[in-house]
């Protein structure tokens, strides 16, 4: 039989601030339907605009463990942009409250990326190609300078074990709007999460390993960085027969560096900014950083660096995306994937094309650096500086 909450939810207060656009009723009482073996809840979302409460939506919410045994509708997150709460019991969402959980956090300092001492002089005195060479050499020096002296980590020859249970992004409703790109492992949608745009990468179930690997890389300690695509969440959608795997990240309207360079040329200053932020992102990815607040960040090899996997923010700051083929290197642990020749052929280093890869950490990081050099050449070929 069904395991019900403290009180079975049969109806909830209903309200939709966008009732005209959605062509629904504006307010009323909504009967809650669903499977008999699933719990039903009520929910409310609202905004606090200069002290004035503005309700966004109220209604029924299907089986969600975060709502179990909650008699009152209470938002506990600290200062969210849109408040959300859920509860169990008939019309329990008629009243809703905000009681933030107080947390004491210690300030953390992000690694500071030093600039080369002669960077400004080189910028104004040397030709563009020399400037690009400085950026490449600087990036290589940075990851060599900061990494720990760990012994080589060999890539294992056995198949990886079964992935852990898939995570759930959580409570907030998500609406797909339009397809922005298609790739080897699925398609990328522009979507709306409450009142902000996000990107949703949808994998078919046969590409579960790529989805799982990308989620695990994003979930490592220290993966929040200005030049790495911001991760929001992951979840499964659909029935057991027809399941899609979703990966939700920040959305950047300018899209990939490939698309941007097809439609635009860049000035010398724009070239330097894009190249420098790309190099910072890759150098940070390659770094092995112990002692972070949330744990030890291992060195990571991307293994598919290309202009299509570099996204541009509105100010042309670059961020690295797509970690479906990435490898992490942790002392005493296996690195994961066994395939040496992966990625996009036109960006592969000669040793990869020849099948002569040294399966050690430094070899994989150097392969990334080779691919980054080709991306920088693409960027230079669209520069207007003479």
Q: Residue 45 has which token pair?
A: 């979302």
Rounded to a whole number of angstroms, the distance between the first and last alpha carbons of the chain is 76
Q: What is the pLDDT along the chain (386 residues), one digit of tens a residue?
A: 444 444 578 899 999 888 877 777 888 998 988 777 788 899 999 898 888 889 989 999 888 888 888 899 998 888 788 899 999 999 999 999 888 876 555 555 555 555 555 565 555 556 667 767 777 777 776 656 554 444 443 333 333 443 443 344 554 678 889 999 887 778 999 999 888 899 999 998 888 889 999 999 999 999 999 999 999 998 888 776 778 899 999 999 999 999 999 999 999 999 999 999 999 999 999 999 887 888 889 999 998 999 999 999 999 999 999 998 899 988 766 555 445 556 777 788 777 766 666 677 888 898 899 999 999 999 999 999 76
Q: What three-state secondary structure class fits 3? A: coil
Catalytic residue among 288, 304, 322, 368: 304
For 143, phi then psi, to 5°, come to -75, -30
> What value, to the nearest 5°, has the Cα angle with vertex 53 and ends 47 and 58?
65
What per-residue confidence (pLDDT) applies to 238?
A: 76
Rg (CA), the chain: 24
81, 118 in Cβ contact below 8 A?
no
Cβ count near 224 (within 10 Å): 11
202, 236 in Cβ contact below 8 A?
no
Q: How far apart are CA 364 and CA 327, in angstroms?
A: 9
Q: How far apart are CA 122 and CA 120, in angstroms?
A: 5
What per-residue confidence (pLDDT) applies to 240?
A: 67
For 193, phi then psi, to 5°, come to -110, 100
181, 133 in Cβ contact below 8 A?
no
Q: How far apart are CA 22 and CA 20, in angstroms?
A: 6
Beta strands in 185-340 (DSSP E): 186-193, 196-204, 231-238, 243-250, 289-292, 295-297, 299-301, 310-312, 318-320, 327-329
Residue 63 designated active-site: no
What per-residue confidence (pLDDT) applies to 166?
A: 38
List CB contacts of 331: < 8 A, sequence separation 6 or more. Answer: 150, 151, 153
Q: Residue 49 has which token pair?
A: 């605009």
What per-residue confidence (pLDDT) applies to 152?
A: 40
Domains of the chain, first to last: 10-98 (2.10.60.10), 174-381 (1.10.510.10)
Q: Is the dihedral of CA 60, 63, 66, 70 positive or negative?
A: positive
What per-residue confidence (pLDDT) applies to 149?
A: 40
Q: How far apart are CA 248 and CA 189, in angstroms?
A: 10
122, 268 in Cβ contact below 8 A?
no
Burial of 154 (0-12, 13-18, 19+ CB in 10 A): exposed
Q: What is the pTM of this model?
A: 0.56
Cα–Cα distances (Å) from 214 to 221, 233, 244, in that order, read 14, 11, 15
b/e burial code for range 351-370 (CB count within 10 A of at least 16 → b): ebeeeebeeebbbbbebbbb
Cβ count near 307 (within 10 Å): 22
List CB contacts of 287: < 8 A, sequence separation 6 or more. Answer: 111, 142, 143, 146, 147, 297, 299
Q: How far apart are CA 20 and CA 8, in angstroms?
A: 31
What per-residue confidence (pLDDT) applies to 162?
A: 38
């Amino acid at each position: 039989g069904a395991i019900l909450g403290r009180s079975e939810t049969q109806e909830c207060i209903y309200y939709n601030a966008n009732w005209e656009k959605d062509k629904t009723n504006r307010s009323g009482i909504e009967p809650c339907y669903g499977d008999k073996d699933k719990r039903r809840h009520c929910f409310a979302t609202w905004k606090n605009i200069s002290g004035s409460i503005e309700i966004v939506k109220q209604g029924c919410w299907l089986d969600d463990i975060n709502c179990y045994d909650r008699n009152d509708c209470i938002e506990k997150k600290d200062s969210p942009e849109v408040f959300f709460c859920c509860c169990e019991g008939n019309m329990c969402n008629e009243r809703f409250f905000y009681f933030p959980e107080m947390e004491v956090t210690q300030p953390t300092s992000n690694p500071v990326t030093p600039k080369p001492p002669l960077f400004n002089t080189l910028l104004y005195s040397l030709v563009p190609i020399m400037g690009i060479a400085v950026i490449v050499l600087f990036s290589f020096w940075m990851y060599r300078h900061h990494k720990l002296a760990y012994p080589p980590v060999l890539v294992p020859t056995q198949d990886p074990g079964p992935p852990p249970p898939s995570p759930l992004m959580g409570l907030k409703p998500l609406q797909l709007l339009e397809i922005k790109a298609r790739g080897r492992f699925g398609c990328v949608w522009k979507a709306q999460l409450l009142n902000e745009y996000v990107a949703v990468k949808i994998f078919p179930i046969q590409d579960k390993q790529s989805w799982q690997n990308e989620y695990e890389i994003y979930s490592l300690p220290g993966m929040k960085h200005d030049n790495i695509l911001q991760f929001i969440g992951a979840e499964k959608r659909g029935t057991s027969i027809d399941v899609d795997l979703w990966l939700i990240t920040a959305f950047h309207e300018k899209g990939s560096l490939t698309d941007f360079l097809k439609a635009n040329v860049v000035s010398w200053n724009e070239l330097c900014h894009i190249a420098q932020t790309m190099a910072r992102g890759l150098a940070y990815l390659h770094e092995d950083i112990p002692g972070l607040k949330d744990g030890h960040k291992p060195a990571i090899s991307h293994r598919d660096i290309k202009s299509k996997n570099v996204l541009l923010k509105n100010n042309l700051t670059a961020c690295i995306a797509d970690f479906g083929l990435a490898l992490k290197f942790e002392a005493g642990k296996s690195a994961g994937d066994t395939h040496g020749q992966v990625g996009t052929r036109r960006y592969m280093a000669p040793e990869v094309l020849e099948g002569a890869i040294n399966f050690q950490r430094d070899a994989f990081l150097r392969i990334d650096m080779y691919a980054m050099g080709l991306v920088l050449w693409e960027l230079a070929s669209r520069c207007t500086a003479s």
